[in-house]
């Protein structure tokens, strides 16, 4: 079983839709959870990070963590064509220098 | 604010030729530094990481090597490139001692080995 599983998609939605992106993990030692957005041919950029179970909001983005189910989600409200990118989840055990990444979900928002 | 640079942005090299990719970080001291390779359908593969000058940890045995000659400079090298070395190479940094290990990525170098 892989440590982090992420549906690669592709996911195609109309503009204005609510998007749900998800990752599951198997290692209960993971304490910190991040979402990165990567546009085509660019480096990943950090969108959000959280360490506790529950929700964290930042504008149109909400990160959700359920440690009991080992499941994290990123919700995008009122999706825009500019949100079209690959979204990577990442997680760490804390203070061991390393992140474990999902393979990414390719999202396309159609105008 | 912190900035991370990588060069070159793109590179086309013949099999068997040497390689040198450079990464520099501005605006922070003693960062943790990382080299990743991203191949289509395979996600991000951590190649090397460094917690200080001259300190390199290798994650994947291969014909690549890394060096950190200065605090904010990280170099990825190869003596002889293979076709399988083609990919998108990303440098990243993180704040030392920060428990979340959040990493910040550079713009990447796209390497094609022919």
- State the pLDDT at residue B6: 97
Residue B27 has pLDDT above 80, yes or no: yes
Share of chain B above pLDDT 70, in %: 97
Contacts of B88 (CB under 8 A, 6+ apart): A41, B37, B38, B39, B108, B109, B110, B111
Rounded to an integer, the average pLDDT of A8-12 is 91
Look-up of token digits 């080299």: B35
Q: Which residue of chain B has the CA closest to A49?
A: B102
Residue A34's nearest CA partner among A70, A67, A66, A73 is: A73
Q: Count Cα atoms within 13 angstroms, Cβ side, for A17.
A: 16
Sheet of B3-7: strand order equals B3-7, B19-26, B73-78, B64-70
| B10 or B2, greater pLDDT | B10
Q: How far apart are CA B25 and CA B8, in angstroms?
A: 15
Rounded to an integer, the average pLDDT of B9-32 is 96
Residue A74's nearest CA partner among A3, A27, A26, A9 is: A9
Grade residue B1 by pLDDT with cuts at 50, 70 and 90.
confident
Q: Which residues of B touch A51 (CB under 8 A)?
A: 100
A40 in contact with B, Cβ within 8 Å:
no
Contact A22, A72 (CB under 8 A): yes
* Average pLDDT taken over every residue of chain A: 93
Chain A: give the shortest CA distance to residue B22, in Å: 15
Which of B2, B44, B48 to probe the A interface (max A CBs under 10 A)? B44
Q: Convert the pLDDT of each residue in B47-62 to its tens digit.
A: 999 999 999 999 886 7
Q: Convert the pLDDT of each residue in A50-89 to its tens digit.
A: 988 889 999 999 999 999 999 999 999 999 999 999 999 9
Contact B106, B6 (CB under 8 A): yes
Q: What is the DSSP letter of A52?
A: S
Q: How far apart are CA A95 and CA B64, in angstroms?
A: 26
Grade residue B12 by pLDDT with cuts at 50, 70 and 90.
very high
Q: How far apart are CA B108 and CA B16, in angstroms?
A: 22
């Amino acid at each position: 079983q892989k440590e982090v599983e992420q549906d690669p998609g592709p996911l195609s939605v109309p503009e204005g839709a609510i998007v749900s992106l998800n990752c599951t993990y198997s290692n209960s030692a993971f304490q910190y959870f991040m979402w990165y957005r990567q546009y085509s041919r660019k480096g990943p950029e950090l969108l959000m990070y959280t360490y506790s179970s529950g929700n964290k909001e930042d504008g149109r983005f909400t990160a959700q963590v359920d440690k009991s189910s080992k499941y994290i989600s990123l919700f995008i409200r009122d999706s825009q064509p500019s949100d079209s990118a690959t979204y990577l989840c990442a997680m760490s055990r804390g203070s061991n220098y390393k992140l474990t990444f999902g393979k990414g979900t390719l999202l396309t928002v159609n105008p | 604010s912190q900035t991370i640079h990588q060069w070159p942005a793109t590179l086309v090299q013949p099999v068997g030729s040497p390689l040198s990719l450079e990464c520099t970080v501005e605006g922070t001291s003693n960062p943790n530094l990382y080299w990743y390779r991203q191949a289509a359908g395979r996600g991000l593969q951590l190649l090397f990481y460094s917690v200080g000058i001259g300190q390199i940890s290798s994650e994947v045995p291969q014909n690549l090597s890394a060096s950190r000659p200065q605090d904010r400079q990280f170099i990825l090298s190869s003596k002889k490139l293979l076709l399988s070395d083609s990919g998108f190479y990303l440098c990243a940094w993180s704040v030392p001692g920060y428990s979340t290990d959040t990493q910040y990525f550079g713009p990447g170098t796209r390497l094609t080995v022919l």
